[in-house]
Structure 1
Amino acid sequence: MLLSARLAALFLMTPLLYAVPMPGSVRVLFALGLSAALSLPLAWSADVLPTGPGDLAASFLSELALGATLGLGILMAFSGFETAGRLLDVQIGFGMAQVLDPVTRRQVPVLTSVFGSLALLIFFLVDGHHALLRGVAFSLERFPVGRAWSIGSTAEPLVRQAAGLFTLGFALAAPVVLSLLLLEFALGVVSRNLPQANMLALGIPVKIVAGMLALSILGGGMGAVMLRVYADIYRTWAGMFELAPAGGRR
């Protein structure tokens, strides 16, 4: 039960279980089944179990907080893709067009939704879910179930990841943003030489067409940056595990 609280909080903080519509009961059963599968071979790590209702409630809240902290590392990585999508939406002109994002269930601009869905697709294609499960299993060794943990061992890696979030998000959109910046210069020159032309009416469709062409041409070069974003998840977790005291055998 304590392990399922950690896993439920972890997956609640991430868009992984929300990519495909499924009932809430299925998500609950998934968390319970996964916690049972992990607790059987790693039962030795639960060496400090609560003995009373008060200890059980405190351990339950502690596991929820730990799962949310681990999930925050995943959430910030996917937020990098959302940052890139919002930058492009503003630059291209899609910022006013809102669509329903199937992952977050909220209204977001068009390219923000596309980048979010693409991030989930690539995450599964590069076997990120397998690495995630290995990280969860290793967290049971570094943070045993039922044992108190220090927030100080997790704060530094999370702050470091948050500091690089905007940089990686901008790196995803940088080629297209640079192309649109050059287009803005060109439109400015045309506006100075042809003052009778309505640049507002002419510039919006030109920017949309040029932005989509640049995105389709330069999109293939985003793969290396996307892998860096995913690697930040496990780099953050590795920092948490290194700073945490060893809680069990290796």
Structure 2
Amino acid sequence: MFQFDATWMVFVGLLALRIAATLLMTPVFYAVPLPASVRSLLVVGVSLALAAGLPVPSAPWMGWSALMVAAMFEVALGAMLGLSVLLAFGAFAVAGQLLDVQLGFGIAQIVDPVTKRSVPILTSAFGYLAVLMFFLVNGHHALLRGIAYSLERFPVGAPWSMSDSVAPVMKQAAGLFSLGFALAAPVVFCILLIEFALGVIGRNLPQMNMFTMGIPVKIIAGLVALTLWFTGIGGVMTRTYASISSAWQGIFVAAPASQGRGR
């Protein structure tokens, strides 16, 4: 039976801080434009659902000073978990930026309703593709399961060592550009062959204006190659999403044994 006392309310509040920090660091939370009140209710609802199945621990964070320290620990942990998700989606942004530069779309920018800033066309398209596929592969379910498991490894309000959790995230960040290039590699290689062919033609036919002819040829060939590549991009996307699980597993394994015990 629930006991709606001050300890339980503080427990839910600290849990909500962890969940909010995790979701705020991910593009998933902004995939659908919702009012701030709806997002807040969503965070509170998830917090209440998770707290319903957890025993409320003895409150070592009672008192304002201890409560503030516990709140900072929760925000930092949520931000660390959310950073892993953000890095995975960053690989799609790297792929989009690379193709925008290669195809000449870098100066053609549109307003992204998710980030509220101007981004190139393919960068925005890859961002929406990443969010769409994340939901299609049930990544949101895995995200919630990971947050629930983090409550076992890192009890709410308990201190944790950030230095032990940095290494998995840094390892994921090191592979950000390789994954981003892998997402766009076949199209980049196709554009490279097109530029090589245009260079040969321009060398043998100097009377042709290759700058005028080359741009539309590169755009058409690049878009066709990108369309064909979408049929086989699933494996690379799976590796990109798997990097989130690997980073989170590293963070959870890095938790000391004293924190990993269930309450």
TM bucket normalised to smaller: over 0.9
SS of the counterpart of 2:53?
A: coil
SS of the counterpart of 1:73?
A: helix
User: What residue in structure 1 maps to residue 23 of structure 2?
Assistant: 11
**What is the letter of the counterpart of residue 132 of structure 2?**
L
CA positional deviation for 1:40: 1.5
2:98 to 87, 98, 102: 87
Identity %: 58
User: What residue in structure 1 maps to residue 48 of structure 2?
Assistant: 36
Contact 1:80 1:166 in 2 (8 A): yes
* Mapped pair 1:118 → 2:118: no
**What is the letter of the counterpart of residue 249 of structure 1?**
G
2: distance between equivalents of 1:183 and 1:236?
Answer: 38
2: distance between equivalents of 1:249 and 1:143?
Answer: 9
Contact 1:48 1:145 in 2 (8 A): no
User: What residue in structure 2 maps to residue 53 of structure 1?
Assistant: 64
1:1-250 equivalences under 5 Å are: 1-44=13-56, 46-246=57-257, 247=259, 248-249=261-262
CA positional deviation for 1:173: 0.2
2: distance between equivalents of 1:114 and 1:33?
Answer: 31
1: distance between equivalents of 2:134 and 2:34?
Answer: 19
Question: What is the TM-score when the length of structure 2 is the normalising length?
Answer: 0.92
2: distance between equivalents of 1:193 and 1:91?
Answer: 24
CA positional deviation for 1:48: 4.8
SS of the counterpart of 1:220?
A: coil
Q: CA RMSD in A?
A: 1.2
CA positional deviation for 1:220: 1.1
2: distance between equivalents of 1:193 and 1:69?
Answer: 56
**What is the letter of the counterpart of residue 106 of structure 2?**
G
Question: Which stretches in structure 1 are left out of the alignment for 5+ residues?
Answer: none
Contact 1:48 1:147 in 2 (8 A): no
Question: What is the TM-score when the length of structure 1 is the normalising length?
Answer: 0.97
Contact 1:143 1:149 in 2 (8 A): yes
User: What residue in structure 1 maps to residue 9 of structure 2?
Assistant: none
**What is the letter of the counterpart of residue 84 of structure 1?**
A
